[in-house]
Copies of this chain bind each other. A is one copy, B any other.
């Protein structure tokens, strides 16, 4: 991830783009790229899209990662740490005993 972060920052610095990359617009951008990914599944079953749109999924998912990496880089976050932290919280919200094989939200468990 550190290597990817470095490459992505080089990409935007070569273009002098950090001046535009405030965190609010980065959050908008992550949401827009997530929508482009989701659009591949519009009116289709999961299988249908996975079988016919693999390279498009790769591109759109990559864009979600690129903007997400830019955002944590802007904020100097340690991404491994915040993911492990969040998994710990999810572990408390969704204890194995209650949530095994159960897709309910924790508010409905």
Chain A residues with a Cβ under 8 A of chain B: 1, 4, 7-8, 11, 14-17, 19-20, 22-25, 27-32, 34-46, 49-50, 54, 57-59, 61-66, 68, 71-72, 75, 77, 79-80, 82-87, 89-91, 94, 96, 99-103
Contact = CB atoms under 8 A, between A and B. Distances in A.
Q: Is the interface of A mostly helix, strand, loop or mixed?
A: helix
A23 to B, nearest CB: 5
Kindly list the 8 A-B residue pairs having the minimum CB-CB distance in the complex, ordered from nearest: A62-B86, A35-B35, A24-B46, A22-B46, A31-B34, A34-B34, A58-B82, A24-B41
B64 A64 contact: yes
Nearest to A29: B42
